[in-house]
Structure 1
Amino acid sequence: MERTERFCKIEMLIRSRGCVSFADLMTELAVSRATLKRDLDHLRTRMDAAIVYDRDRNGYRFETVGRNGRRSFMAESPGVWFNEREIHALLTMHQLLDGLGVNGSMSRHLQPLLDKLHGMLGTSETVARELTRRVRVVAPVHRPVRGRHFERLASAVLERRRLRLTVDGDDGGRERDRVVSPMRLVHEDGVWFLDSWDHDHEGLCRIPLPSVRSVERLDLRAKEVSMRAVETELDSALHRA
């Protein structure tokens, strides 16, 4: 378990149970006595976490009354617990889930995950909100896929069916029809692409979905090409239709 994850779990254990013994913390975190002592010392001295040892209850709890007489749980602004990669991943996940909105068909399934992720970003609702305001991950501009094309293309990828696509010509030229065997969908730089076997040109290609004007499902099995071959040819360079 990474140190950042241990810090988060210590905070959640104390907050959920009120008071947790040293032995229980060791068991829950699966760490040595020395590691736990270092973690607790770091939280209290470096991150101003109001964790105190309660002799009467033989455990660790949050201090409820600070020296100034005010209520003080874990510091309202305990510093950043995350390194660069962790905060980027957490905020990107938060942004993606939050972007789905509350009215979608998946919202009731995703809300618990969003709530859990929100809790990981801060020790209180106020801290989490402030963090998402003060640390911003700017996502690439998303170019929407027209109509129901994405769902139809994704179904064809999974069901291994050929497609006849009408796509924009190069440099805004005439539209053209292409018969393809879809291999996979790839999201890159804010755009979805369809990696396919082009039956007219007998080769692999990468088609940007915003250029797709129409999709016709054909009653033919898709040509099978190994994913290793697809990855080797299409991931090694920028191939565009």
Structure 2
Amino acid sequence: MQHIDKIFKLHNTLRDRRTPITGKALQEKLECSRATRDRIIKYMREMLDAPIVYDKNRNGFYYDHDHAQHPYELPGLWFNAQELQALLACQHLLANVSAGILQDDIVQLQNRLEKLLRLNNGVAKPDFDKIKILNQANRRSDDNIFLKVAAALFNGKRLRIGYHARGDNQHSQRDISPQTLVRYRDNWYMDAWCHLRGQLRSFAIDRIVSVLELDQSSDLIDTEQLQQHFASSYGIFSGSAKHLAVLKFSASRSRWVSDENWHPEQQSQWLDDGRYQLSIPFNDHRELLMDILKHGSEVEVVAPGFLVEAVREQVAAMGKIYGDR
């Protein structure tokens, strides 16, 4: 933020005085011109709600402490013009990722940021029409359920949820202790301790059909244990990694894959023939299989054997669909 040092100096000067200070004396203290002094005072009044008053009789500026509820202090957040512009863009992204959630609060934040931005010359308000967000795999969920789940997480409370699982199409009711909210591939998940199964589980927020916050406090799991259970294997599937997938990508596809991070503990190397080899720890192979298949003939699965066989079965099944056409 431009002139931030002078803003602090002006604030400290007025805060410590009980009598007005002349404009000329302020210019000397701030080491600036009259025009700059006036711009700073205007900014503090309009944007920082500073109670700066000019007394014509005494020809000076002062803080109006008599009409303030408490001594004035500068707010704690400061941004320069570029930071404000970036924050506005992030706010726009947030509004699109979580449409409907806290929408009124987001609008108020946007209006405040736009007001701040208008005072910074040379930096335009971001044109949000030039920002495109493609939520290709986003699944619709209930905003009220999301907010209740998030509230229980931050309040350290257990939840009683009704859950409709996609895998087996079964409905169940269970008590859970929320641990972590996860945004993964454009959808929200809740990592939690499931008291029904006595295990750590991941629940898709869009599959929770009912939720009730309980009076009981959550059973909190150690962070390292959570990391080991949910982050050691590939994808959303939990559990410690038991297998290592070895994939070889064609030279042309490697130009993309070599810049991608598939897993924090992946290992990679360039081969002599120009191909790129990627090794990935995993537990459940289903999600990994889907990501392998999207690369088609540009990737070869080397190991383990059961993953090679799973790819072969899928290729054979596709051949039956398209083979006779």
TM-score, normalised via structure 1 length: 0.51
Q: What residue is the counterpart of 2:216 in the other structure?
A: 220
**Structure 1 residues 202 and 106 mapped into 2: Cα distance closer, same or farther (>3 Å)?**
same
Residue 147 of structure 1: how far off its partner (Å): 5.5
**Structure 1 residues 208 and 114 mapped into 2: Cα distance closer, same or farther (>3 Å)?**
farther
Query: Is 1:138 equivalent to 2:133 in the alignment?
Result: yes
Paired with 1:121 and 1:210, the residues of 2 have a C-alpha distance of 42
Aligned positions of 1:64-83 closer than 5 A:
none
The one of the two structures with greater contact order (alpha-carbon pairs below 8 A, sep at least 6) is: 1
Paired with 1:94 and 1:205, the residues of 2 have a C-alpha distance of 32
Paired with 1:89 and 1:139, the residues of 2 have a C-alpha distance of 20
Matched positions, count: 165
Assess if the C-alpha contact under 8 Å between 1:167 and 1:214 holds in 2.
yes
Q: What residue is the counterpart of 1:239 in the other structure?
A: 236
Paired with 1:155 and 1:105, the residues of 2 have a C-alpha distance of 18
Q: What residue is the counterpart of 1:193 in the other structure?
A: 189
Aligned positions of 1:1-241 closer than 5 A:
91-97=89-95, 104-107=103-106, 109-115=108-114, 123=122, 128=125, 131-134=127-130, 136-141=131-136, 142-146=138-142, 148-171=144-167, 173-237=169-233, 238-240=235-237
Deviates more, 1:217-226 or 1:87-96: 87-96
Deviations 1:97-117 (A, max 9, x none): 58868x944156413454168
Amino acid at match of 2:160: R
**Structure 1 residues 100 and 164 mapped into 2: Cα distance closer, same or farther (>3 Å)?**
closer
Question: CA RMSD for the aligned pairs?
Answer: 4.2
Residue 159 of structure 1: how far off its partner (Å): 2.2
**Structure 1 residues 211 and 108 mapped into 2: Cα distance closer, same or farther (>3 Å)?**
closer
Paired with 1:218 and 1:211, the residues of 2 have a C-alpha distance of 20
How many percent identity over aligned positions? 20
Residue 181 of structure 1: how far off its partner (Å): 0.8
Amino acid at match of 1:162: R
Amino acid at match of 1:149: I
Paired with 1:121 and 1:235, the residues of 2 have a C-alpha distance of 43
- Structure 1 unaligned blocks of 5 or more: 1-8, 14-24, 29-56, 58-81
Amino acid at match of 1:239: I
Assess if the C-alpha contact under 8 Å between 1:166 and 1:178 holds in 2.
yes
Paired with 1:170 and 1:114, the residues of 2 have a C-alpha distance of 42
Paired with 1:194 and 1:203, the residues of 2 have a C-alpha distance of 14
Assess if the C-alpha contact under 8 Å between 1:165 and 1:212 holds in 2.
yes
- Structure 2 unaligned blocks of 5 or more: 7-32, 34-81, 239-325
Larger Rg: 2
Residue 182 of structure 1: how far off its partner (Å): 0.9
Assess if the C-alpha contact under 8 Å between 2:182 and 2:188 holds in 1.
yes
**Structure 1 residues 182 and 114 mapped into 2: Cα distance closer, same or farther (>3 Å)?**
same
SS in structure 1 at match of 2:236: coil
TM-score, normalised via structure 2 length: 0.40
